Every structure is written in C-alpha cells, then in structure tokens.
Amino acid sequence: MNIVILAAGLGKRMLSDMPKVLHRLAGRPLLSHVLDTAKQLSPGRICIVYGHGGELVREALGDNGCVWVRQEPQLGTGHAVMQAVPNLDERAITLVLYGDVPLIRPRTLERLIDSAGKGIGVLTATLDDPSGYGRVIRSRGRVVRIVEQKDATARERAIREVNTGILALPTAKLKGWLAKLESRNAQKELYLTDVVALANRERVKVAAMSADDSWETLGVNSPGQLAALERIYQRNVTQALMEQGVILADPARCDVRGSLVCGRDVAIDVNCVFEGSVELGDRAVVGANCLLRNVRVAPGTRIEPFCHLEDAEIGADCRIGPYTRIRPGGTRLDARVHLGNFVEVKASNIGAGSKANHLSYIGDTDVGRNVNVGAGTIVCNYDGANKHRTVIEDDVFIGSDTQLVAPVRVGRGATLGAGTTLTKDAPAGELTLSRAKQMTIPGWRRPVKKK
Ligand code: UD1
Ligand code: CA
C-alpha cells in the first residue's frame, strides 16, 4: 500500500503564522497523529505533500522514513496527489489521508481498503449540516460522482451524504485519471474527487463506506474545531483509562498529552495533566492540579495537590507535595521519600526514607537514606559559571536554614546546626555548624521618631 498525506493547505481560518498541521492536538502536531496512524497500517511508502511554510513542517517532524513532496503552487487536491505519483508503487493501492484529520483510526482505514477491492473506496459521512463538503451523488444506489459545494446545484446541496476526503484508489488507474483532470470548476482547481466520475465512466467500482464513529473524520479548520477535537481525543483516552479501572474524579478534567499507563486502583483528582510518558503504579494517587511530564511513580505513592513533576522516577510509598516541583534533569527518589511544600528538586537522587518537608532546594545532589533536610535548606549548586555536586550521606540531620555550598560532602550520621553555611566537608557523626555568636546588648534602646 502507498499512503499519501495531504498537508499543503494554507489553513487560513486558523489565523496563524504556523502551518495548520503543526498545531497541536494532545501535545503533538496534527500531522504526527496522522503519520502514526499511517504507520500502523505498515504501508510500503508514505508520501507527505507539503507546501506553504512546509520547511517548518519537515523540520518539526523529521524525515520519519517518509517521502516529502513539495506542492507549489497549490492547485487543488488532485494536483497535490499528482506531485506524489512518481513516488508511488503502481501495483499497490493508494490511500489518501488528510494531515488535518487527526482522529481517523487504522481499523476504519483497513475496512475502507477492503471495501475498495480493485476499485475506489470513498470514506463518507452523513451530516445534519453538510455545508462546505463535497456531496456524494448516487444513481440507482451506486456512487457516480462527487460534486463540490461550490459547484453543486441547490438540489445537490440538499444531499447530506458527504465525502470526508479519505479515499482508497488503484494506483495505476489513478495515474491515468489524474492526467485527465481539468480545472473547469468554481474554484479553478484540480479536484481529486473528479476521479470518481472518471472511474464510473470506465465501470470501475466505487464503494462508499462510513467510519465507525463520526468524530474520526472531523477535520481541523479553526481554533474552535481544534479545541473540539482535543475534547474528543481526551474523552476517548479517559474512557479507556476508566475501562481499565482507573478512578478519575472527573474525566472532563484530566488531560493526557502522551501516554499514561496505570496500575490497579489508581486515583486521579481533577485538573491533572500528563505529558510525555507517565506511569502510575498500583494504588498511586494524584491530587488535584498536578502536572506530570515523563514521570514514573511506583506503587502506593501519593502525589498531593499542585505538584509540577518532570523527568523523575519516584519510588514506592512516597509522599510528594502539596506544591512540590521536580525540575527536568533526571531525579530518582527511593521508597518512602517525603517532599513537602515549596521543595524544589533537580537532577538529584534521594535515598529511602529521607525527608525534605518544607521550603528547600536540592539540586545536583545525592542524598542518602533516612536524611532529614530541615526547612529552608538550600544547596548552592551553581557558582555563576559551573554546577557542582553535593553529597549527603545516610542518616544526616540538616538543621533549618542551612546552605550547602557545592561541591561539598556531609558524612554519614553528621548533624548540621541550623543556619549553617557549609563550605567545607562535614565529618561523619559530628555536629558541624557555622554561626555568629549570639550576644545581647544590655540597655539598648530602639530609636524613636523625631517630632
Ligand atoms: C475536500 C474535498 C471535499 C471534501 C472535503 C473534506 C476535493 C476537491 N474536495 O474539500 O470533497 O468534502 O475535502 O474536508 O478534494 N490540500 C493540499 N493541496 C492543495 C489543496 C488541498 O495539500 O492544493 C490538502 C489540504 O491541506 C487539506 C486537504 O488537502 O489537508 C483538503 O483540502 P481542503 O482545501 O480543505 O479541501 P476542501 O475544499 O475542504
Ligand atoms: Ca477542508
């Protein structure tokens, strides 16, 4: 099979400087959804027809094993497919997809190809409001041609069966038909849809079929439609999660922009966003208003509300948040770690049972087991030019408001007094502190305001 993805259109109604197919659905360009679907059909080749601003599209998606064909100028869907033809295997069938119709499912396309046989398969839809679409004209039940809205008579416009644009075609014959296309129509374009009438004249069978679900063939032309498709996509994802037993406080307030894999008895409160690849182990709980991007959470861990966690592996039975931030750079938390409010962690490893419950920054640090990080502890990992690592060994107790000026090491079982600015290694098992001596000035009086 050949697959041709049409993606050269301007997308004027997006009112955007960005090519339409790069607008994002579930965090990824529209075109990459279509490309993924295409790949699932294992075609011999995928040909992407791009145009206006197309270099940006190519850059954003990479070559992706596809043949990229430029269409310049854009003279219609028939003209677009013509550009792809030299790259198509004539013996195989050609499936035409649209870069701005992102929700189409592989199994619908497989059915379309089956129904086409050696002829043409047209994916159609029956709409309450068919305006804007090409209408499917039948004669004695058979599909004989497709007429565009702008060329249709009032009577044809009343037809509610429309062309979704997705077609399966016999490639060798397609070549011949494309060569015969003419632009004598309202838009002065070469319409791909005119091949249906040409096929009919040659008595090539045209089969019409509709998608399993009507949302599959919806296209994106405007920001409103993009948002509507996003909701459909998210509804499908959350429905699947609930079917696997995930408890969602409100499926309408959970967005998955990537993949979310959940174990048993996972519960997710409202307004959570999952990006990239996220895994939640058995009994994991995610509180309201959290964003997790590329995070793996082991069983039994609770993420309290308002956490922003990235690039992290979180062990079992941890308690994270509320208001914890894990920044990109790769952080690993072992089992039973507690991170509390306004604790920021970056590129650090924290051992089992260690706690940083309030107002801390832990960056580029290896923390051992059962360490207590007091409120207001800051690791000064950056000297203005370079980052340095800090090591805090097992069973260390760090008093509140301590600064650890990296690179520095705190030995096993050491205690750091509150307010310490640690610039040299602290020996194991000892109390280390840096603190100005406390003094009292007897009889000192506060200044009073002059009258
Ligand atoms: C097309 C169909 C119409 C169908 C509708 C479904 C034709 C003549 N008409 O109409 O029957 O009901 O889609 O949405 O095919 N494109 C190119 N190069 C071009 C023109 C278009 O790559 O020169 C691409 C666009 O990026 C888009 C797709 O083809 O992905 C459809 O183009 P669009 O202009 O939206 O077609 P319609 O006029 O809506
Ligand atoms: Ca369109």
Q: Is the pLDDT of residue 219 over 90?
A: yes
Q: Is the pLDDT of residue 248 over 80?
A: yes
Q: Is the pLDDT of residue 100 over 90?
A: yes
Which ligand is closest in space to the CA of residue 222?
2
Ligand 1 pocket, residue 170 CB under 6 Å: no
Taking the C-alpha atoms of residue 286 and residue 263, their distance in angstroms, rounded to an integer, is 13
Ligand 1 pocket, residue 99 CB under 6 Å: yes
Give the confidence band of 310 by pLDDT, cuts at 50, 70, 90.
very high
The chain-wide mean pLDDT, for the chain, equals 97
Ligand 1 pocket, residue 100 CB under 6 Å: yes
% residues pLDDT > 70 (the chain): 100
Active-site residue among 33, 52, 79, 358? Answer: 358
Q: How far is the CA of 76 from the centre of ligand 1 (A)?
A: 7
Contacts of 245 (CB under 8 A, 6+ apart): 262, 264, 265, 266
Query: For position 11, what pLDDT does the model report?
Result: 84
Ligand 1 pocket, residue 7 CB under 6 Å: yes
Which ligand is closest in space to the CA of residue 166?
1
- Is 52 a known active-site residue? no
Q: Is the pLDDT of residue 53 over 90?
A: no
How does DSSP assign 92-116, residue by residue? Answer: SEEEEEETT-TT--HHHHHHHHHHH
Q: What is the mean pLDDT of residues 226-251?
A: 98
Q: What is the mean pLDDT of residues 83-95?
A: 97
Ligand 1 pocket, residue 19 CB under 6 Å: no
Give the confidence band of 12 by pLDDT, cuts at 50, 70, 90.
confident
Contacts of 127 (CB under 8 A, 6+ apart): 133, 160, 162
Q: Which atom of ligand 1 is nearest to the CA of 7?
A: 26
Ligand 1 pocket, residue 238 CB under 6 Å: no
Q: CA angle, 359 as apex, 357 and 360 as ends, to 5°? A: 85
The residue length of the chain stands at 451
Query: For position 225, what pLDDT does the model report?
Result: 96
Which ligand is closest in space to the CA of residue 125?
1
Ligand 1 pocket, residue 165 CB under 6 Å: yes
Query: For position 181, what pLDDT does the model report?
Result: 98
Q: How far is the CA of 219 from the centre of ligand 2 (A)?
A: 7
Residue position matching structure tokens 């940006």: 56
Query: For position 52, what pLDDT does the model report?
Result: 75
Q: How far is the CA of 157 from the centre of ligand 1 (A)?
A: 18
Best mutation site among 13, 21, 49, 77 for ligand 1, i.e. most ligand atoms within 8 A of its Cβ?
Answer: 77
Specify the range with the lowest mean pLDDT, choosing from 50-54, 167-171, 244-248. Answer: 50-54
User: Helix 77-84 vs helix 171-180: angle between axes, to the nearest 10 degrees?
Assistant: 130
Closest residue by Cα to residue 97 from 193, 42, 165 = 165
Give the confidence band of 378 by pLDDT, cuts at 50, 70, 90.
very high
